[in-house]
Structure formats: structure tokens, C-alpha cells
Chains A and B, each alone.
Chain A
């Protein structure tokens, strides 16, 4: 088990969110969607230009820019 930045995760890789290090509007928007510590995520894929990234979380698909994924730390196996 080790922690990586979400941007570094590969397609189809799964993990559990360990920290969301951002406040303000971005932080609130990320948390509103259910990206909080302890939540399992899987990288669903990336847009043709490698950005944004699509995640599977709580049974739905969410998209984030890489620069936003940077604030999220995920514990992967």
C-alpha cells in the first residue's frame, strides 16, 4: 500500500482516497461530489488530450482536470 497523486494513476487503476488537500471553491466542489477520504475510486479513462480524467466513484462517473486531480491523494495497492 502506498499513496500517489491522482494525476499519476493509470487507467483502470483503483484505490481509496486518503486526502483532499484543497479548500475554497475547488475544494468544496470536489467534496460535494463525494470525493472525501475513505472513498474508493477507479480511473475510468482520460480524454483524447490526456486531460480531463474520468473517475468512477460511488457508482457514477466524474470528470476532473489533471490540475484538480493534483490535490487528491489516493492509496493504491
Chain B
């Protein structure tokens, strides 16, 4: 079987991922938002004795090197040298998509064009003669509909043929006008005679990149042959001066003008037939008239977000209660089946309470992700970025930051990990850094269990409204911190907005299912691995060392004495009284046991500082666990209180336990909520931040800075609240 490496490349939103999934059976994210695919993904397609290795590259509008995606795509093309590039072109948006195709052709790599979305084009009254286009460009063009899989076999056959034939694709030569053509020719001569980078690139292409001042090529050139590189930059300088004098333009601008001119001339040679005007209003534009309307737009946005809340919190209540019932049943069953001892304690208090506490929220997370998927896939998020940019700019951010915030839990229930990754679509390092350092403040799905538990326990009925308020607080915090970062450690001017608004599309069921399931599954996996491991470790820390012999004997002695007087009791009221005393002793023993453990000692030690925020030693234990993963806060609280509980029969829900506990009050709950929202990102997020920001220092920074900030806020809340008498 012959192996062929094939890269899918094209503009953002052209349908690359859809095609990739269709071909490889993979389930990658498809999103109606420019720049969803930020990493390259690989899969295999078997066809007619070919083994096609397919790589899904991030979408780019051109092959310069301004954004991370462009660099990823370009590096891949240079380093891995795929045998063929399948260039996905959105037929409903032909001219702009061909701009990238042209750059592939100029680069002289084997290309096969997949003319995608012909269904959309058709519904807009656009007909494209693919045969004609193929003749004019000199590469095969295959019409497809990535969504339905129409044309995919044909496409693969053609791509395989292009790769097999190994015809050295002759680089396309476009005329750039007299002035530029002359200098390009001179540069080409120099490049060829100097053997300058010609192993890697075509000579003409190198000349073009010098004229465009492409940093990557320039630095490679400087390394390879400084003298010649200097000569080429000199030629660029003189032609630049000449163009400025005579035509008030620069080489870069002229190159783009001529490329688009070339495309326009091709398209006009009978490639496109339109029924009506190119710029007529489509349904999508009519929707936008309302959805981004000056007054209606923001109202609709607010309504949409509130609806999402209502949907998530109200409809998930029933399935969440099923899950809870299941876990308490499981806990009871195991309790009765096992003998008293460490094994039972480990399984019931460590594993079931820990992991169950997290898994119980799976339905809620799923509802939330489903809602987010609908908004993302329909194209609404791009509108949100458009409407919010003016506000985000005030804080030194970018309209596209919205997407990262929302994924991280800006609409409560996301996850900072995809959020941090999504910042890759931001072109500017500064706005990107400010965004990725502040997205962990959002109320991610892992914080939700705690927030839901505490608001439910201490602040009464209206959970949806309260969660909405907490979301606003997290947004305010994130934006203010972003502003603070942008005027201190990541100062600098704003970068271009320039964003495409993709047409609204009906989300496909498959797309929604993939989205929802993939993210929910990540949550479940986290519960099954990280959370499970941490639960067990924390259980051990909370169980060992045991109380000293002496202490145990002291409790046993008291219990025996009471038991004897209980047996001797005459009246039922006396017996009841003694039984109550016995229970008190039991729970006191349990509490002492926990306090004496490693975790208890650390927690108690920390009380010296955390008491200013109202946290007792048990909360400290939970918060320590939360450094690893935020879900652990709830599960540890659960374990702390169930270990502290004398008998499992009287197992109350955690909510009831907290409501009755004297060390808890609404004020403590509020302080804890604020602290949890703002303190250090979980380990996984920190790792992601380090990777995306390019230095472990940023990871460390986010842990220290966020924790200090959170603690300050919690202290302020608790002290002010105490002063006001709560």
C-alpha cells in the first residue's frame, strides 16, 4: 500500500475540519467561528490501495507569518513537505479563498483544490464552472459538499493522483506590473546564481518574500548568506522608495493588488455565473439587521445568555438529582456490604464521595456545553465578538477574547483549558497574554459544583439569578485584571481587529453531538483520573496518622462509661439523653481524628492566615486540593465532613451538614465563593498557560498572583461583612 501525506489547508471556516471528520471518521471540533482549529490534527483515510495520512491545518487567509496559525501552517508545509495539499475553497466566497490558493501555486507545491460548500453557493444563485477554473489555474478542482460527504471519494482519488504523478508543479508566475517585475527578475538572477535558499524555495518566491519583508524568510536568508541577503533588502528598499515617489504605494500593497486583480480576471473568464448581484442581502444579513441592531442587539445578547442559564440550571435539575440518588444509593450499599475499616473508609469517603460529587454534575455540564455548542456552531459567537469589541478594547483586549472567556466559563460551565487554547486565534501577543492570564477567573464547570452547592445552601431558591450575578462578578474581575496587566507588565498598543462574520448556519446534529460529548467526556475523564487520584491522596492525608493510643483509649473509656449507664438507665427520657451524649462523643472523636491527620494539621496551621477570610481548617484542606483541580474543593469538603461524621447511617447531604455547621454562615460561603473564583488555576490549566505563553514563569505568575488577589478579595468581603454584622 502506498503511503501519501496530504494536508488540508484553506481559509478559516472553509470546512476543513468538517471534511477531515468526514474522511477520517474522527470527531474533531467543527465550529462556525473563524479560527477554531488551532492545532494540526492527523488521521488516516484508506482508499483504493492508498493510505492517505491526512493533516488538518489551522485556517489562514494568507501565508505570511503574522499569527500563530499561519506559522503552524507554514512550518508544516516547509518541514514536513506533504506530497499534496488539498486546498479547501469556499465556493460561496470564491475570490477571497483563491487568494490563499494563489500563494500555494506561487510557492510551487502540488495542490488540488476542493471546491466546498457548493450547496451554499447554489442556494445563493452562484454557479461555478469547476472545469473552467481548473483549466485557468492549471490544477485539478473537485466540487464537494463536506457536510454530506458528496464528492469526497473523487477528491481523494484526484489528490492521490496528484501525489503519485509527482509532477514538479511549476510555480505560477503572476505579473506585478513593470516596476516590480523588473526588480523581481533581477532578484531572481541573484538568488539563482548565489544558490540562495533554493533548496527549500523557488527563487521567484524568495524574491517576493523579500519584497514583502517577510520576517521568517529574511532571518533564514540572513543566516544563510548575509551579504546576498543585504543586497536583496537593498533592492527592496530602492524599489520601495521609487514606488512611493511615483505611485504613493509600497511593494507589499502592489503585490496584493495584482494578486486580487489576477483572481478577478480569472473569475470573470466565465468561472462564475450569478443569478443576482454579488452584494445582495442574504438571509444571514437580514438576521444580522436585528441581532446586531443598536438597541435590540445587546438586549438579545442578554436574553440569549439568560436563556442559556435557565436552560442549563432548570432542565438539568432532574437528571442531576438522579445522579445524586444513584451515588448515595451506591454509598449506602457499599457501606452495608463492607466491614468497618480502612477499606470501607477509602471506598466510601475517599472514592465514592470524591468522584461521585464531581460526576453528579455531569448532566449540568452536558446541558451547558450543548447550549454553548448551539451558539458557537450557528455563528452567533462571532456576532458577540463584533458587538463586544468596543468594550473589550477599553480593557486592552480584543473582541475575539470573548470566545476564550466564554469557553472558559464566561457563560458558567466551560473550562479554562480550551479557553487558554482558544487564545491562539488572537493575533497579538499582548492581547493574547492578557486574555490567557485572565480566562481562569471565569466560572468553569469545575467551580460550578461548589458555587451551586453554596448558593443553594446559603442563598435560597433563586439559583439561576445568583449564578448570573456570580458570572458578572467573574467577568468584572477578569476585565479589571486584564486592564491592570495591560498597563503594567504587558503594555503596548492594540492590534488589528479585521474579522470575518461567517454566515449563520444551522448547526448539524452531528456537530452538536461531537461538541457536547467531547467536552463532557473530558470532564468525566478528569473525574476518573486526576480527581480519583487526588481524592485517594487527600483521603490518605485526612486519615493518617491515626490518633495516639492514649487518645483512643480516652474516647473508648468515655464511651464505655456511657454505655454502662445507658444499660442501667430506667426511664426512656434518661436513655435518650445518654444516647445523645454518646453521639456527641462519637462525633468529637471523628473530628479529633481528622484534625490530627496530616491534612488536618496543615489546615489548622493555615488557619492563622485564613481566619481573616473566615476559612476554618476543613475549608483550608479543601482549598489545598483545589490547587490540583477545582472539582476537588467540593469533593474534599464532602470527604472532610463525611470522615468527620460519626455514623454513616445518619449520612446527611453535604448541603444539610454545612447548613447546620457552626463554622459556616452565608458570609463564609460568600468569601469562599469569591476565593474559589479567583485563586490559582488548576494544574492542567497552569500547564496549558505555560505552553501557550512560552515560559514557566507565566505559569508561576498566574498561580501566585491569582492566589494573592483571591485572598485579598476574600478578606475584604469577610471583614466588611463582619463589620456590617453579617
Q: A45–B288 contact, CB under 8 A?
A: yes
Segment at the interface with A among B223-231, B294-302, B453-461: B294-302
Whether A68 touches B285, Cβ cut-off 8 Å, given contacts A23-B252, A34-B99, A48-B387, is no
**Would A34 and B390 count as touching, CB distance under 8 A?**
no
> A residues within 8 A CB of B391?
49
Q: Which of A46, A50, A59, A61 has most chain B Cβ within 10 Å?
A: A59
Q: Which of B252, B297, B500 contacts A27 (CB 8 A)?
A: B252
Within 234-258 of B, Cβ neighbours of A (below 8 Å) are at 248, 250, 252-253, 256-257
With known contacts A27-B253, A34-B96, A48–B497 Cβ distance under 8 A: no
- Tell which of A39, A44, A68 touches B498, judged by Cβ atoms closer than 8 Å: A68
Please judge, given known A-B contacts A48-B292, A58-B278, whether A23 and B500 are in contact too, CB under 8 Å: no
B134 within 8 A of A: no
Contact in complex: A48, B500 (CB < 8 Å): no
B501 interface hit (Cβ, 8 Å): yes
Q: Complex formed: what's the CA distance from A57 to B278 in Å?
A: 9
**Any B CB within 8 A of the CB of A4:** no
Please measure, in the bound complex, the distance between the C-alpha atom of A68 and the C-alpha atom of B285, giving whole angstroms. Answer: 22
Interface string of B93-104 (1 = CB under 8 A from A): 111100100000
Q: Residues of B contacting A14 with CB < 8 Å? A: 279
Q: Is A10 an interface residue (CB 8 A)?
A: no
In the bound complex, residues from chain B placing their C-beta under 8 Å from that of A39 are 260
- Asked if B3 lies at the interface with its beta carbon under 8 angstroms from chain A, I say no
In chain A, positions 14-67 with a C-beta closer than 8 Å to chain B are 14, 19-20, 23, 25-34, 36-40, 42, 44-52, 54, 56-65
Alpha-carbon separation in the docked complex, A56 to B279 (Å): 7
Nearest-CB distance from B694 to chain A (Å)?
Answer: 20
- B390 near A58: Cβ-Cβ < 8 Å: no
B389 at the binding interface (Cβ < 8 Å): yes
Q: How far is the CB of B663 from chain A (nearest CB, A)?
A: 47
Query: B409 in the interface, Cβ–Cβ < 8 Å?
Result: no
Least distance between A60 CB and chain B CB atoms (Å): 5
**Cβ A48 vs Cβ B498 within 8 A:** no
Query: Do the beta carbons of B387 and A47 come within 8 Å of each other?
Result: yes
Report the Cα distance A20→B62, complex, angstroms: 18
Task: Give the size range of A's interface with the partner.
Answer: 35 or more
* CB–CB B496/A20 < 8 A: no
When distances are taken between beta carbons in the complex, the residues of chain A under 8 Å from B92 are 59
| Contact indicator per residue, chain B 370-388, by CB within 8 Å of chain A (1) or not (0) | 0000000000000000110
Contact across chains for B288 and A33 when beta carbons are under 8 A apart: no
Determine the chain A residues whose CB is within 8 A of the CB of B587 once the complex forms.
none
Q: How far is the CA of A73 from the CA of B92 in the complex (A)?
A: 27
Give 1 or 0 for each of B381-415: 1 = CB within 8 Å of chain A CB: 00000110111010000010000000000000000
Which of B93, B94, B289 contacts A45 (CB under 8 A)?
Answer: B289
Interface string of B247-288 (1 = CB under 8 A from A): 010101100110011000000000000000011000011001
- Contact size range, B: 35 or more
Whether B501 and A54, one on each chain, are in contact in the complex, defined by CB atoms closer than 8 angstroms, is yes
Q: Is B310 an interface residue (CB 8 A)?
A: no
Q: How far is the CA of A25 from the CA of B297 in the complex (A)?
A: 31
| B517 close to chain A: CB less than 8 A | no
Contact assessment for B390 and A52 in the assembled complex, using a CB-CB cutoff below 8 Å: yes
Are A25 and B495 within 8 A (Cβ)?
yes
CA distance A37 to B256 in the complex (A): 10
Chain A residues near B61 (CB-CB < 8 A): 29, 32-33
| Contact in complex: A60, B96 (CB < 8 Å) | yes
Q: Which of A29, A40, A54 contacts B66 (CB 8 A)?
A: A29
State whether the Cβ of B720 lies closer than 8 Å to any Cβ in chain A.
no
Contact for A34 among B260, B387, B496, CB less than 8 A: B260
Q: How far is the CA of A37 from the CA of B260 in the complex (A)?
A: 10
Complex Cα–Cα for A40 and B62 (A): 21
Which B residue sits closest to A23, measured CB to CB?
Answer: B250
Mark contacts of B75-112 with chain A using CB atoms, 8 A cut-off: 1 yes-contact digit, 0 otherwise: 00000000000000000111110010000000000000
Q: Determine the distance from Cα of A31 to Cα of B103 in the docked complex, in whole angstroms.
A: 14
Cα-based distance from A31 to B102 in the complex (angstroms): 14
Contact A36 B260, beta carbon cutoff 8 Å: yes
Contact at B386–A36, with CB atoms within 8 Å? no
Q: Is there contact, CB below 8 Å, between A59 and B285?
A: no
- Interface membership of B64, Cβ < 8 A: yes
**A63 touches which of B248, B252, B497 (Cβ 8 Å):** B497
Is the pair A33, B500 in contact by a Cβ cutoff of 8 Å?
A: yes
Chain B residues whose C-beta falls within 8 Å of the C-beta of A51 in the assembled complex: 389-390
**Assuming A23-B252, A26-B496, A31-B253, is B390 touching A47 (CB within 8 A)?**
yes
Q: CB-CB < 8 A to A62: which residues of B?
A: 498-501
Q: Which residues of B in the span 143-190 have a Cβ within 8 Å of any Cβ on A?
A: none
Considering the chains assembled together, what is the distance between the CA atoms of A20 and B254 in angstroms? 11
Least CB distance from B188 to A in Å reads 23
**Within the assembled complex, what's the spacing in Å between the Cα atoms of A29 and B62?**
9
B250 touches A61 (CB 8 A): no
Decide yes or no: A25 and B66 within 8 Å by CB, A39-B260, A48-B297 being known contacts.
yes
Instruction: Assess the A61–B500 pair: CB atoms within 8 A.
Output: yes
CB distance from B267 to the nearest CB of A (A): 10
A61 CA to B285 CA in the complex, in Å? Answer: 9
A31-B253, A51-B389, A61-B500 given; A44·B288 CB < 8 A: yes
Q: Which residues of A contact B386 (CB under 8 A)?
A: 47, 52, 54, 63
- A47-B390, A54-B501, A68-B498 as given contacts; A36 in contact with B256, CB under 8 Å: yes
- CA gap between A60 and B248 in the complex, in Å: 29
A48 and B295 contact, CB distance less than 8 A: yes
Question: How far does the alpha carbon of A44 sit from the alpha carbon of B497 in the complex, in Å?
Answer: 17
Q: Are A28 and B96 in contact (CB under 8 A)?
A: no
Q: Chain B residue with minimal CB distance to A26?
A: B496
Q: Which residues of A contact B399 (CB under 8 A)?
A: 52
B interface with A by C-beta (< 8 Å): 61-62, 64, 66, 92-96, 99, 212, 248, 250, 252-253, 256-257, 260-261, 278-279, 284-285, 288-289, 292-295, 297-298, 386-387, 389-391, 393, 399, 427, 495-501, 503
**3 cross-chain pairs, A with B, having the tightest CB-CB distances, nearest first:** A31-B256, A49-B390, A61-B501
| Given A28-B64, A40-B279, A60-B500, 7 additional A-B pairs, CB 8 A | A23-B253, A31-B253, A36-B253, A52-B390, A59-B279, A62-B501, A63-B501
Q: Can you identify 8 A-B contacts, CB atoms within 8 angstroms?
A: A25-B495, A26-B498, A29-B61, A32-B256, A48-B294, A48-B390, A49-B390, A52-B390
